[in-house]
Chain A
């Protein structure tokens, strides 16, 4: 009924709400100031408003809405980590992602594809078995499969012996998914703003005001504002902002590059990761092959792209998926990843009173956006470290109690 649809669209009785309710002016004080309007900051604002009734919130963003790593990631969502602490945490995020489109009333195009972590060596098979057992114990669906089974599920993959590093088997994680990253951030922003949260773009935090060991406000390019509580969620700029609060972090900022091919008809259903070959690939809903690898070899505050990255990526990719030889690269980009030594995030309380941190998200933080928003909101609202976040506290580095996830996070983001 195209005519009825047109009538509905043009009718004044059912106007669509504007997505974003911008407020032009900054107030003098807020209950909570969040630095960084990426997915994490916005999700925390949403949960503070929805779960804890705190709506007098300003989210301050130096650039534009969710233009940082939230806009640059390759959107892999999974829970097949290595440590029980990590698996419990990411499992909650996968559960929240499944109902996120309803929760935020926006289509985040959550698409469960199945996720392979390929093994080309005995050591990689051993890690796969280890992860599968921890996953199953924690109620996460993962299993080790052999090369023939990989081929059955993913017929386009080359698992023959005439490759430089033949596929021996894989850790298979059926719930592994991809989603529309921008929609996730926009959904949180829209629903938070509907509840009264203010998001201010082009507003850079330049200084954090501390009095007697307590954070009391921030200085921005638009003036000073005060906040009862302050939270930072600034990814690649984590060390820089934390330093303003007098904190030194266990973080190195290292670029992570990615690229997409021109779009083609659906040919690859799964998300395929190879830790040994340092490559991963999935096909987006638009048909583009989305590809990347591990971080660059050294620290840098830049989002430039390099030829080395594409050379090493394509060398292995062509062996895994020979049909890729027909495709051209369409776009390439990079983001600044805030890397921790144990490949786990840093969340929660800090030595500065009323100052909360959400950092160390490196190459793996998109999938954690919902759970992190929910639990950081709980932490800020109650002033206590939620149980789920206890293993990830900044203080773990003082007690040498690291959460080693390198085996599950260095290439498969």
Chain B
């Protein structure tokens, strides 16, 4: 039996979860065109490889994010939606892994070689 690690409930049997599909940004309902809705509602990247996707823990009705490889069925990591957003923000501002930044001493180079 496959185990999925829910950020709220911990490791649970995967049959307790519902797959929500690949993560895609929702267009702004106030301005979206028909073509944008078609893209959001129906069209899929259907990636063979690493994807970021939605999962629902059905008994607790809790939605979260997972990264999974669709060729090997390996779950790489799971995280809350907030953690996902924080990482997106950090990536956008050019910092790859905010948590890995040295808090005291050391230069950039020192941190990478550590």
Write the residues of chain A forming the contact surface with B, with a CB cutoff of 8 angstroms: 239-240, 248-253, 297-302, 304, 306-308, 341, 397-398, 400
Contacts and interface: CB of A to CB of B under 8 A. Distances in A.
B34 A249 contact: no
Interface stretch (B35-43, B76-84, B85-93, B103-111): B35-43
Contact of B15 (A297, A397, A400): A297
B45 interface: yes
B14 interface: yes
Contacts of B73: 300, 302, 304
9 contacts: A239-B45, A240-B46, A248-B43, A251-B46, A297-B14, A300-B70, A302-B71, A341-B41, A400-B34
B103 to A, nearest CB: 38
A239 B18 contact: no
Contacts of A300: 70, 73
A246 to B, nearest CB: 13
Interface in B18-77: 18-19, 21-22, 34-35, 38-39, 41-46, 48, 70-73
B15 A239 contact: no
Given A300-B70, A302-B71, A253 B19 contact: no
B42 A308 contact: no
B1 interface: yes
B19 A299 contact: yes
A305 B42 CA distance: 28
A339 to B, nearest CB: 10
B21 to A, nearest CB: 7
Interface of B: 1-2, 14-15, 17-19, 21-22, 34-35, 38-39, 41-46, 48, 70-73
Given A239-B46, A249-B46, A398-B35, 7 more contacts: A239-B44, A240-B48, A248-B44, A297-B15, A297-B18, A299-B21, A307-B1
Nearest to A248: B43
Contact of A308 (B1, B18, B45): B1
Contacts, number: 58
Contact of B42 (A253, A299, A304, A341): A341
Contacts of B34: 398, 400
A252 B42 CA distance: 10
A251 B71 CA distance: 16
A206 B87 CA distance: 34
A335 to B, nearest CB: 15
A173 to B, nearest CB: 30
A306 B1 CA distance: 8
A308 B19 CA distance: 16
Nearest to B68: A298
A402 B5 CA distance: 36
Contacts of B17: 297
A397 B70 contact: no
Given A304-B73, A398-B38, A297 B19 contact: yes
A379 to B, nearest CB: 22
A304 to B, nearest CB: 7
Contact of A248 (B14, B15, B45): B45
A248 B42 CA distance: 10
A240 to B, nearest CB: 6
A252 B44 contact: yes
Contacts of A341: 41-42
B15 A308 contact: yes
Contacts of A398: 34-35, 38
Contacts of A397: 38, 42-43
B44 A250 contact: yes
